[in-house]
Amino acid sequence: MRLSEFILRDMERILVQWEAFAVTLLPAAARMDSLALRDHARPLLEAMVADLSTGQSADARSQKAWGRAPQLADAPHTAAHTHALLRAQSGFDINQLAAEYRALRASVLELWMDDCQPEARYLDDIIRFNEAVDQAIAESVRSFSAEVERARNLFLGMLGHDMRSPLQTIHATASYLTRMNAGEGVSSAADRLIRTGARMQALLDDLCDFNRTELGLGIGIVPAEVDLVAVFADETDQLRAAHPERQIVLEAPATLRGVWDGLRLQQLLGNLVVNAIRYGTHDVPVRVALTGDDTEVRFEVRNAGAAIDPALLPRIFDPLQRGPDAGSRKGANLGLGLYIAREIAVAHGGKIDVRSDGQETAFTVSLPRQVVARGTL
């Protein structure tokens, strides 16, 4: 008996074994009934039977083995795709998802061999069946990973939204305490609370910006005519107040007007300066140099100190990248600052580069004098 005929004839027995294995995948399976545990197993097997019954070229076989079988235009969601989504939503992990397919492969072939003792001329069915299982695994893993990523991004978005209100309350309460003149102890505690809240707010802002980019929305900007010198002077003043132990020097012309999102460029500059403070030599100033012409502005943030590891440079703007000793340094840091700086530059139609040697590290940002909004905050 051909393998396709056996699967159709013994479908229920195969499904019983599928369910018996699925119920062991705890803790998710403990909350599921028989129907949920068998979810899409029958359509999966029927799709494999259809594949076994269809001729294929050598190229099609090769593509399928790599999980690249063509997808029908009128069937964008296969049984493997839908099964993966439901398993992800039910709390299965990706190893459990793959284990289901391994168990199915072993169960079907073992039952067929034991019951039918297939003739040698039918053994090619084993290869075809394995190809079909591999294709289903590839489809399921892609869909499962995408669903997990979507759920994570939604969670981050909700977390960022829900945390803003309590942070604002903490800041407002601490500011009220500083105005009460309730004594040096209360004022000092309120100041610490304000500074801690500001660090938490910065982390939250980074997290929300990262979430937007992961959802494909990019960094939102609202361009308007601003004086970039005034924008940067205000930001460097705030940075000096936050880091009184460090010297921050701004070198700029008297004025430099253009169309940008001033708040976002303050965020970009702040991220670069904080990075320079964190990794630069403490007794050497961090320098910000701003220049411009009729079509473009450029600014550099330079710090003295050890050179960035050449192996890190190609991925330094990737998200969640941190220096080798970042965990031992003072201050909150998710490893998103440089990534967000790059995204802000890109949202303005600009770019950011870095060079580093044994004497100095410099981040250079180039921006057009005007930018068309690609999103809103």
Please count the helices (runs of H) and the strands (runs of E) in the chain.
Answer: 12, 7
Average per-residue pLDDT for the chain: 82
- The answer, yes or no, to whether the previous bond of 368 is cis (omega within 30 of 0) is no
| Beta strand 286-292 pairing with 248-251 | parallel
Angstrom distance (rounded) from CA 23 to CA 106 = 17
- Which two tokens mark 331? 């201050």
- pLDDT of res. 257: 93
Q: Find the helix packing angle between 124-179 and 79-89, rounded to 10°.
A: 40
In 10 A of CB 166, how many CB atoms? 11
Identify the H or E element spanning 248: strand 248-251
The string of DSSP codes covering 86-127 is HHHHTT--HHHHHHHHHHHHHHHHHHHHHHH---GGGTHHHH
Please count the CA atoms within 13 angstroms of the CA of 269 that sit on its side-chain side.
31
Question: pLDDT for 205-216, tens place per residue?
Answer: 767 776 666 656
pTM tops 0.75: no
DSSP label at residue 218 = -
DSSP label at residue 58 = H
- pLDDT of res. 64: 66
Angstrom distance (rounded) from CA 163 to CA 168 = 9
Question: pLDDT for 38-93, tens place per residue?
Answer: 888 899 999 899 888 887 777 776 776 666 666 544 444 688 988 998 888 888 88
Domain residue extents for the chain: 1-217, 224-368
- Which two tokens mark 210? 């990262």
DSSP label at residue 327 = G
Residue 226 CA: distances (Å) to CA of 215, 229, 253, 288, 344: 29, 9, 14, 18, 16
Fold of the 224-368 domain: Heat Shock Protein 90 (3.30.565)
- 176 residue type, one letter: Y
Angstrom distance (rounded) from CA 243 to CA 245 = 5
Contacts of 155 (CB under 8 A, 6+ apart): none
CB 272 within 8 A of CB 341: yes
Angstrom distance (rounded) from CA 369 to CA 316 = 26
| Below-50 pLDDT ranges, the chain | 72-76, 327-329, 331-332, 373-377
Per DSSP, what are the bridge partners of residue 298? 291, 366
